[in-house]
Structure 1
Amino acid sequence: MDLDKINVIKAITRRMDWLGERQRVLAENVANADTPGYKPKDLKQVSFSELVRGSQLSGGVAATQAGHFRGLGGRSSDHWRNSTAKGYETSPNGNSVNLEQQMMNVAETQAEHGLMTNLYRKQVGMLRKALGNRQG
């Protein structure tokens, strides 16, 4: 059974992918905390309800090869667009990474990823229950 054909599962998976990519961007910000002139980045926020609505739309063009995708990390969705985060303070060398803010963003991302993981687990559990807990 292809779980990506189920809209809710597809939306959860897309949100988890977005959260993983955001975690990568935040880690890059932290890694460059001492780089002169570095400006922190973040990903464009997308609400889960928008993802659910978007997954219910049918039609469109299907990519047949990974090289056909465009955008950050090979993804074609606007949800992956990088944006420059607003700096809270700038050091004399022009670096505007605030480690406390980055750590808050990391914790928020981690908590939301845990929520999406639990939601995914519950959805799969409901499917198994509906199928009668058959194995294989």
Structure 2
Amino acid sequence: MELFSNTFRSLENALDYSNTKQKVISQNIANSDTPNYKAKEVDKTQSFKAELESSLESYRTDVRHLAFTPEDSQGSTIVTKKNVQYNNNGNSVDVDKEMTDLAANQIYYNAVSDRLSGKFKSLENVIKGGK
């Protein structure tokens, strides 16, 4: 029996995604006045596609059967926004949008960490025998 289910791995990947997004948003805000700086963002599709693929499990009855889980799952991908300019100096950072994304990411992180905490509390309850 596996102690940590796919839920724990999914929540861990969600926290990693939120951490990467926090770093990218912070970098964008820090460089909001840097000439010719192009804003970056975290590519959600690659992150969630990798998560869905990694959560699929299969039972192989023969070694010649293909496995459903990819061997080279990647984390989040950081993409630079090109051909966008908000300032006269060539900068593409929209500070209002970045601050909104920062707040949304904080809410997302809090929700995921609360869920992870709840999973650990459930495990603790089971270990203590429900007392």
TM-score normalized by structure 1?
0.72
Distance 1:115 1:132 in 2: 26
Q: How many residues align?
A: 118
Matched, 1:119 2:119: no
Query: Corresponding residue for 2:65?
Result: none
Q: How far has the Cα of 1:53 moved from its partner?
A: 5.6
Please say if residues 89 and 98 of structure 1, whose CA atoms lie closer than 8 Å, have aligned partners that are also in contact: no
Decide which moves more: 13-22 or 87-96: 87-96
Distance 2:98 2:25 in 1: 6
Matched, 1:43 2:75: no
Distance 1:50 1:80 in 2: 9
Amino acid at match of 1:124: F
Please say if residues 53 and 70 of structure 2, whose CA atoms lie closer than 8 Å, have aligned partners that are also in contact: no
Report matched runs for 1:47-126 at 5 Å: 51=51, 54-57=54-57, 61=71, 77=74, 79-85=75-81, 90-126=86-122
Percent identical: 25
Aligned-pair RMSD on alpha carbons?
Answer: 2.9
Distance 2:70 2:49 in 1: 20
Relative to structure 1, the CA distance from residue 52 to residue 123 in structure 2 (aligned partners, 3 Å threshold; closer, same or farther) is: farther
Relative to structure 1, the CA distance from residue 60 to residue 96 in structure 2 (aligned partners, 3 Å threshold; closer, same or farther) is: closer
Equivalent position SS for 2:121: helix
Distance 1:115 1:49 in 2: 21
What residue ranges of structure 2 are gaps of 5+ in the alignment?
A: 59-68
Equivalent position SS for 1:20: helix
Equivalent position SS for 2:36: coil
Relative to structure 1, the CA distance from residue 119 to residue 48 in structure 2 (aligned partners, 3 Å threshold; closer, same or farther) is: farther
Q: How far has the Cα of 1:133 moved from its partner?
A: 5.6
Equivalent position SS for 2:44: coil
Once the two structures are superposed, what CA deviation does each residue of 1:71-103 show, in whole Å capped at 9, x if it has no partner? xxxxx61x4211124787521111010110000
Relative to structure 1, the CA distance from residue 118 to residue 49 in structure 2 (aligned partners, 3 Å threshold; closer, same or farther) is: farther
Please say if residues 11 and 48 of structure 1, whose CA atoms lie closer than 8 Å, have aligned partners that are also in contact: no
Amino acid at match of 1:12: L
